[in-house]
Structure formats: C-alpha cells, structure tokens
Structure 1
Amino acid sequence: MNEPSDPNEPAGLDLPVEGGTLRVLRFGRGPRTALAAHGITGSGMSFRAMARRLPDEWSLFAPDLRGRGGSAATPGPYGLDRHARDLCRLARDLGGGRPVALTGHSMGAYVALLAAVRGPGLFDRLLLVDGGLPLPVPPGADPDAVLDATLGPALARLGRTYATDTDYVDFFRAHPALGPHWNADIEAYVRYDVTGPRGARRSKVREDAVRHDGRDLLTSDALFASRLTELRVPALLLHAPLGLLGQEPPMLPPSVVERLTGGPDGLPAELIEGSNHYTILLGTAAETVAERFVTLGG
C-alpha cells in the first residue's frame, strides 16, 4: 500500500479480482468501511471531496473500475455486471465478514445497484448519486451515437493527446459543468487521470471500455427497473437538476424520477439544488452527499 504524505490524498492499494487486480484508493483510516463506484469516464478520485467530509471513523475505498485509472490494464470483458461482481469481491475482502456501505455515481450508481441486489448480505445501505434509474433511449437508436451526443467532451478527450499536464487541465477548465466551479478536488481528479510520455499526455481511460459499458447501460433499462424493485437494503437517490454540460436537462429525466421515486413503494429521492452531474460529487454538494450516506444506514 502506498501511504500518502498529504492527509487529503488517498492511499493506493492493488486488490485481487477475477483475472487481475484493481487499483483501489483508500480515503481515511477509520474502522467503518464504505465502497464507492465512479462514473463511466471517471476514477476513484471522484470521491475525494465526499470522503474528506466523512466522519473520522470511516474508511472509503474507491476502486478504479476495469479500463480506468490505475486499473486501465486490468483485462475485460467489461460490462456493468462484471464491475458489479468486482464490487462484491471487494466487499467480501474489505468487510471482514461485516456488511459495508455502498455508493455509486453516474454509471457507478448502476453498478452499485446491480452489486447490492447480487450480494445483499454484503452491504448495509445503497446511496445512488445522479444515476441508477433506467435511461429511456428512442427505439432503434444507435447506442454509440447516443454516447457521443450525451457524453460530449468527456468522451472526446479519450482520443486526444496533450503536450503537457497543464494543457490537459485546461481542457477540463473549459468544460461548462466544471470550469465555473473549479476547485482543488476537481483539479486532483483531473491530474490523477493523465498519463503517457512527455509531449503526448492522455487520459488513462480506455475508450473501448467506455463504449462497451455505455452500450450496456443504454440497452438495460428493463434490468435496472427490475433491480430497483429487488433492493433489500436502505437506499436513497440524490439527483442533480443540471446535467453533464452544467445546464438542463438533467441526466435523469424528471419523468423517470417522478415515476420511480416517492410514495410508499418508490425509491426515496432528494434533489440537490444548485448542483450539476459533476458538482453533486466534486463541489460543495459533496458535504450533503457525505451526510446522507452516513445517516442512511440508521
């Protein structure tokens, strides 16, 4: 384990999963265990802001999923069910026989939902952060075209190289959902993602992993709707009013949120005012996310 000199930075671990290892970032040193899954082009560093706001008794373990970050070389096949199996393996190994708390952001929320249903005895709560609800796709739509249209700059960067790390950071500073809210957590998240030789710096994220997982996500709406009804742990959805470009529409369509949340049988949900798809986790809203996560388990 690589111990950080800065208390705000995580320790890095390489933990076994089927066919290889995952790089897992550990935030905190407390005895209570949390597990967190990031978004489709993200990394475990997505949870830096949230983890810093957890009470001292918590340790948050945030893996880089296959094809991302320090797990970029971990072989596929990819797919949300594969990532969910990885989360269950980590929960068994990290929990020491006790259930762990589980959260996921964006695509990671879908992965966490599948893991919570697959291994209900492994987890004691599930916090979904701007993800986890079925995403309606027009009949006959090409999933790759939908990915290109919705992910925009997040996907475009994967095929580019950058002369310096500063150029890579500047690319993110120009992102309409991030630039106006720039802070140390966003910068740490961006700098963690860059790799490659001098003069040809690039993202650690594998585009083939993103496209594989994205197709899976966009063609599994019935599966996610079913899994929501099968949850047996306390669960909560936190969702943002603004989307991936920092403006309306939000990532989760309001009609879907209204249909699947609230009421005696619906998933409890809370709108986090003033946040977008990224700042709900990387901005000041991270304090609310941490609070809801801690109190969700009772």
Structure 2
Amino acid sequence: MSRTSRNEATGHQGAAVAGHEEFQVPVAGGKLAVSRWPAHDPGAPVVLALHGITANGLSWARVAHHLAGRVTLVAPDLRGRGRSGSLPGPYGIAAHADDMAAVVEALGVARVVLTGHSMGAFTAALTAVRHPDLLTGLLLVDGAVGFPVPPGLDPDELITSVIGPAMRRLSMTFPDREAYRAFWQRHPAFVGSWSPWVDAYVQRDLVGEEPELRSSCSLEAVRTDGVDQLREEVSGAVHRLPRPAVLLWAERGLMDEPQGLYDEQRLASAGLASRLVRTQLVPGTNHYTILVGDEGAQVVAHHLLAAAGMAGTVGRNGTP
C-alpha cells in the first residue's frame, strides 16, 4: 500500500474532503486509488464503502462527514472509475470483489464493516459471499436485489433502459469544470440537493484537458459490470449472505421519479430471507440522495455505526 496524498482542499471541494487522504493498493493489472477518512481513534472499526456504477469513492464523503471520525471510512475508486479509471479489465463484479479483498489485506485489519450503494451493493454482497471472513457487518444501500430479465429482452437493452442517461454522459465532452457542474446541477435527482459534498464527487470524475474534459469511467467497465449484475452469481448473492444485512432503499428513482428501484411489492417478490436481510425505506430520498443528500447520509451513517457496534454514540437519525 502506497500513500499518495492528504487532501485538505478548500474551494469547490470544500468541507467534503476535510481530513480526506488517498493511497494506492496493488491489484491485478495496476493500482487501485482509495480515499480514507481516518477515525480519531486509530483502533476504531473500519468501514469499506463501495460506490455505484458510474460513481467514485467521494460519493461517500457526506456519509464520512456524519460519521465524524468515530470510525475510519475507506472508499476505493473501483476498477475503471475515478482515479482507478486506467486499470484494465477483466471487469465484472467478481473482479471488484477480489479487489476489495486486496484492499482489506493492504489495510492490515482483520475485518471490516462492508457497505455498498447501487452496483456497489451488488459488489458488497458478492464480496461477502466470496470472502466471508473479511466482514463483521454488512449494509446495502439501494442495490443488491436483482430481478429476472424479461424474456426476449437483451441484457444490454435492459441496462441502457435503467442507466441510459449515465452511459450517454460517458461519451460526452465538456469545455470546463463549470460546464460539468452545470450538467449535474440540472439533473432532476440533484435539484435542490447540491452541496460541496456532491460537487467534490462530481468533479473527481473529470479527466482530460480543457476544452475536452470527460468522465473518467470506462464505458467497457460500465457495460460489463451492468450486464454482470444480471447474472445469477451476482444477483443471487443477496440470498447467500454469510451473515445478516440491512438494506436501505430510496423512495424515489434515479431521475427523482416517484417509482424507485424498489418498493414493498418488489422487495416482497424478491423472496428475501427475513433472517438474512432486513429492509428499511428512507423516505424523501432518491437513488442518489439516499447517499449524498444530508438526510440520507445521516441514516446511512447511523446504520454503519450500528454495524460497527457503536449505535449508542448517535441519535436515531444518525446525528451525534
């Protein structure tokens, strides 16, 4: 594990990266970029947090803010995204799971609390199945539960129907950082929810030089991982968990539409074992703000502290 920097930046990243440091972990094909918000107590539990399909590790910055140094939060840029964007394939959820085992080994800790958002939740579930000795707790955030592909529908078509706008962004270029910021500020999911934490996460995605800035995400990685989530090995991992988990689900969808990825009926039809997965609605959130919005991040932080055995240190809504 190589330490690369400690970031106390201000300006467009602001409070989102206060206390944030970065290091690299050797994995197959190169090095994985990892963000870390250290605990005040070096012996505090460690949370390993996995981001969504076109996101990066700074999507967890607002959760780190609410954790307030009571645990160490470690959030990699997954293979093919962010500052791990140049890492080659093979991609796929199993490759991410094995990368996470390498991260835990590099941290030098016996076990971690494992969490993931969206695709990261699928990855967290499969990591738990493939490497059950690595975790002491598991929190899934608006992901990990898959549904059968309708007969005759091509998997690529299904992925495009769900995350089409995100995939189109990967082929776009932007003249400067302000243009990229404006692009995201117009996104329905972020209207009224913009913050320095969101800005830091969005700006980390940009690579290249003006006037042709672009997303760091590899289109091949996104497509491969998206289709991979439909395979039984991945979508069925939530039914084979080695320990109980909590699934937090957002009320609204990716474009802030009233229908979220999940609802009571969809979750009931998934046949989750109640002894393995306890589900909880996070009202007033959409697929993004359940993680990067203030109220959603408080709830996520509260559950992470509970999974780390520190529930008594916070109130019911996740605040001190």
TM-score, with structure 1 as normaliser: 0.93
CA offset at residue 232 of structure 1? 2.2
Aligned-pair identity in percent equals: 39
Q: Is the 8 A contact 1:164 1:198 kept in 2?
A: yes
- Check conservation: 2:114, 2:135, Cα contact below 8 A: yes
Return the alpha-carbon distance in structure 1 between the equivalents of residues 265 and 100 of structure 2: 30
| 1:100-154 Cα shifts (integer Å, max 9, x gaps) | 1110000000000000111111110110000011133211212222222211322
Find 2:93's aligned residue among 65, 75, 80.
80
Q: Distance in 1 between matches of 2:273 and 2:221?
A: 37
User: In structure 2, do the counterparts of structure 1 residues 255 and 224 end up closer, same or farther at CA, with 3 Å as the change threshold?
Assistant: farther
Give the match's secondary structure for 1:180: coil
The reply on whether 1:288 has 2:282 as its aligned counterpart is no
Higher mean displacement: 101-110 or 31-40? 31-40
One-letter code of the match for 1:288? V
Amino acid at match of 2:301: A
Runs of 4 or more consecutive aligned structure 1 residues displaced over 4 Å after TM superposition = 260-264
Residue 279 of structure 1 is matched in structure 2 by 289
For 1:21-170, list aligned pairs within 5 A.
Answer: 21-30=31-40, 31=42, 32-96=45-109, 98-170=110-182
Partner of 1:216: 228
Cα distance change on mapping 1:77 and 1:258 into 2, 3 Å: same
Report if the CA contact (8 A) 1:28-1:51 is conserved.
no
Give the whole-Å Cα distance in 2 for the aligned partners of 1:250 and 1:119.
30
- The aligned counterpart of 1:4 is 7
When residues 16 and 263 of structure 1 are mapped into structure 2, their CA distance, relative to the original with a 3 A threshold, is closer
The change in CA–CA distance for 1:262 and 1:138 in structure 2 (over 3 A counts) is closer
AA partner of residue 202 (structure 2): V
SS at match of 1:16: strand
Q: For 1:262 and 1:226, locate their aligned partners in 2 and report how far apart those are by CA, in whole Å.
A: 10
CA RMSD, Structure 1 to Structure 2 (Å): 1.8
| Whole-angstrom CA distance in 2 between matches of 1:225 and 1:154 | 21
In the TM superposition, what is the alpha-carbon distance from 1:65 to its structure 2 partner?
Answer: 0.7
Contact 2:118 2:143 (C-alpha < 8 Å) held by counterparts: yes
Residues 92 and 122 in structure 1, CA contact (< 8 A), matched pair in contact too: no
Q: Per the alignment, in what secondary structure is the counterpart of residue 3 of structure 1?
A: strand
Cα distance, 1:264–1:34 mapped onto 2, change above 3 Å? closer
| Aligned mates of 2:245, 2:267 — CA distance in 1 | 15
Query: Following the alignment from structure 2 to structure 1, what is the Cα–Cα distance between the partners of residues 235 and 30?
Result: 31
| Partner residue, 1:247 | 257
After TM superposition, give the deviation of residue 255 of structure 1 in Å. 2.9
SS at match of 2:256: coil
Shift of 1:269: 0.9
Of 15, 24, 30, the residue aligned with 2:25 is: 15
- Of 30-39 and 64-73, deviating more is 30-39
Query: Structure 1: which 5+ residue stretches go unaligned?
Result: none
What letter corresponds to residue 307 of structure 2 in structure 1? L
- Decide whether aligned partners of structure 1 residues 66 and 224 sit closer, same or farther in structure 2, where only a CA change above 3 A counts: closer
Size of the aligned set, in residue pairs, is 295
SS in 2 for 1:179: coil
Q: How many angstroms apart in 2 are the aligned matches of 1:210 and 1:263?
A: 30
